[in-house]
Each structure stands twice: as structure tokens, then as C-alpha cells.
């Protein structure tokens, strides 16, 4: 199957200290209709990788390498070129729903804006699409005139989901989209995303800390540690037979529902020693 996304040797660094890489030599591919989950510790470069794909890196940062989307290197596009793709062909659910929504605009308006910008929808057709999207993410359509601060964290996250899928993108990037949700709403959103994936052959890049979600939805898993991919492959291989000590340590921290498993917090001193003696990699 053709890859819709291919990241090749991506490096991200601060402009003022380009030798200290925040994302190091990252490469992976994603095919249409497939889901890749990125897992890894806080600060390991997961969000920076996602933001680079969207062309939304802060201007204090610089990226090198290629981000091929349907064969086009997105890093070569100007802002106008990127705007046509962003929201229409690539949707993103951001990690921070409150800072990503405009506090002075109603949620109905913000969802509608995406449809007007990319599909020129107006009037009753626009209203009907916004109502359908709200219902799809489990928010009553009567809430379309609510402002973001009138909604709970989970509802705001669902508004983000509605905006990201409004144009039925070919690729959806989701940065911890279900972290703020209770398990029943989380299941509802995951089912919705899964349904979109099958119906539209959508590809999903899903960043999460939740191994329950990984085991539910992933085809492939990418494990990031200190800016680098330390392990990647099919879910069964990475979860069932992890090779890298960080992946093993990460899986050791996951509780089982019955609470029978002994939890082992990650021993960073040991990991540092192992890393340095094996690869010399450190940040």
C-alpha cells in the first residue's frame, strides 16, 4: 500500500543552539487506512514531530529533513501552500484544547470556519454540517452557540475533534486527544475515529501515553526517547517483544486492570548507563 506520509531524517533544533537536537534523525512511514501510535516520555519530541508535519513549529525552532505527504515535501511549501493542506487534507487535534480554541468565538462558529475556508460552505448547509459534527462527537447541537469556557475540558477536546475531522482529511494527527476524557467518552471518540478511518481510508498518527489505547487502535508503534526513535514496528512486535531497554521499562510501568502486576518505575540512572554504554546517545 502506498505511504501517505513519509518522514525522512527529521531533525528539530533551537535556532540559537542548532547543535542541540530536540528531534534527532527521525524517519518513519504511514500508509492510508493505518494507524501509527507514537509513545514516549514527556519531552521526547512527539509533539514537535507532529507540529513539524503541520508546518506549525515555533519560529524559534528549525527543522531539517523531509516530510513527504502524498509524495510532496511539505517542508518546501510556503505558508499559502501549507494553509491549503492544513485542516483540509491533514487534520490535527492539538494537545492543549483550551489554548487551541479562540475564547471569544462560539464553538459552532469555529467548527464552521474550517468548512467555510476549505469547502466554501455557507447558510443552511453550513449549519447542518456543524450540527452533524457536534452530534458525531457527542455534543448536543444546541450547544453550538456556547463559548469554549462554558464547556468542560472533555467537551472542548471533542470540539477539537469535530474541527479536525470536519473536512474528512486523508491524514489525522492526534496529539493525546483523549487524555482529558473519561473512559466512556474516550471510547466514543476512538470508535468515531476508527469509523472514519475505515470509511475514508484515513491514516492516523496518534500520540498517546495510554497503552490501552495503543493496544486498541495501533497498527504500528513508534517509541521516542530523548528526541530519537529507539524502536518502531508492528504493534504486536513492539508490545509483545520489545527490544530497547526504554520500551521494556515503559511497558513495565503499565498497570494491569486486576492490579496483580508489580509496577516498576523507570530507573533512569540504569537507563542512562545502558544508553551510554550501548550507543553513546544522550542529549
Ligand X SMILES: Nc1ncnc2c1ncn2[C@@H]1O[C@H](COP(=O)(O)OP(=O)(O)OP(=O)(O)O)[C@@H](O)[C@H]1O
Cα 109 to Cα 104, 115, 123, 134, 162, distances in angstroms: 10, 10, 12, 12, 12
Q: Map the footprint of Mg ion across residues 88-127, applying CB under 5 A.
A: 95
CA angle 260, 262, 263 (to 5 degrees): 125
Q: Is 47 in the site for Mg ion (CB under 5 A)?
A: yes
Among 36, 45, 112, 144, binds ligand X (CB under 6 A): 45
Among 9, 18, 43, 270, binds ligand X (CB under 6 A): 43
Beta-strand relationship, 228-234 and 17-31: unpaired
- Judge contact between 35 and 219, C-beta under 8 A: yes
Among 24, 34, 46, 197, binds ligand X (CB under 6 A): 46
Residue that the C-alpha cell 516530510 belongs to:
67
Report the nearest approach of Mg ion to the CB of residue 274 (Å): 25
Number of Cβ atoms within 10 Å of the Cβ of 48: 21
Cα 78 to Cα 7, 55, 73, 84, 176, distances in angstroms: 18, 9, 11, 10, 28
Residue closer to ligand X by CB (options 62, 131) is 62
Q: Map the footprint of ligand X across residues 72-131, applying CB under 6 A.
A: 95
Total binding residues for ligand X by CB under 6 A? 14
Among 37, 48, 185, 205, binds ligand X (CB under 6 A): 48
Report the nearest approach of Mg ion to the CB of residue 197 (Å): 22
Which one of ligand X, Mg ion, none is in contact with 254 (Cβ closer than 5 to 8 A by kind)? none
Q: Is 181 in the site for ligand X (CB under 6 A)?
A: no
Which one of ligand X, Mg ion, none is in contact with 45 (Cβ closer than 5 to 8 A by kind)? ligand X
- Judge contact between 92 and 169, C-beta under 8 A: no
Name 178's Cβ contacts closer than 8 Å, sequence gap at least 6.
157, 185, 186, 189, 190, 208, 210, 213
Residues near Mg ion (CB under 5 A) are 47, 95
Residues near ligand X (CB under 6 A) are 14, 22, 40, 42-48, 58, 60-61, 95
Amino acid at each position: 500500500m502506498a505511504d501517505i506520509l513519509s518522514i525522512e531524517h527529521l531533525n528539530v533544533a533551537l535556532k540559537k543552539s542548532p547543535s542541540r537536537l530536540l528531534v534527532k534523525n527521525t524517519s518513519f512511514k504511514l500508509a492510508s487506512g493505518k494507524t501509527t501510535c507514537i509513545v514516549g516520555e514527556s519531552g521526547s519530541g512527539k509533539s514537535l514531530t507532529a507540529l513539524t508535519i503541520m508546518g506549525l513549529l515555533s519560529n524559534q525552532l528549525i527543522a531539517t529533513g523531509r516530510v513527504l505527504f502524498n509524495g510532496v515535501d511539505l517542508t518546501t511549501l510556503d505558508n499559502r501552500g501549507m494553509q491549503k493542506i492544513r485542516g483540509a487534507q491533514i487534520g490535527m487535534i492539538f494537545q492543549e484544547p483550551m489554548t487551541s480554541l479562540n475564547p471569544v468565538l462560539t464553538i459552532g462558529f469555529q467548527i464552521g470556519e474550517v468548512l467555510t475556508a476549505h469547502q466554501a460552505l455557507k447558510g443552511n448547509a453550513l449549519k447542518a454540517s456543524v450540527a452533524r459534527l457536534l452530534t458525531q462527537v457527542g455534543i448536543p447541537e444546541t450547544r453550538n452557540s456556547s463559548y469554549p469556557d462554558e464547556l468542560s475540558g472533555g467537551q472542548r477536546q471533542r470540539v477539537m475533534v469535530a474541527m479536525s475531522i470536519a473536512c474528512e482529511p486523508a491524514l489525522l494527527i492526534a496529539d493525546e486527544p483523549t487524555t482529558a476524557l473519561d473512559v466512556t467518552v474516550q471510547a466514543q471518540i476512538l470508535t468515531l475515529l476508527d469509523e472514519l478511518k475505515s470509511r475514508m481510508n484515513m491514516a492516523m498518527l496518534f500520540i498517546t501515553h495510554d497503552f490501552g489505547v495503543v493496544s486498541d487502535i495501533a497498527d504500528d508503534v513508534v517509541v521516542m526517547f530523548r528526541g530519537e526513535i529507539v524502536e518502531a514496528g508492528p504493534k504486536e512486535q513492539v508490545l509483545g517483544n520489545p527490544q530497547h531497554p526504554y520500551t521494556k521499562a515503559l511497558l513495565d510501568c503499565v498497570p494491569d486492570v486486576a492490579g496483580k502486576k508489580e509496577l516498576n518505575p523507570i530507573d533512569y540512572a540504569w537507563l542512562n548507563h545502558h544508553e551510554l554504554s550501548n550507543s553513546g546517545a544522550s542529549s
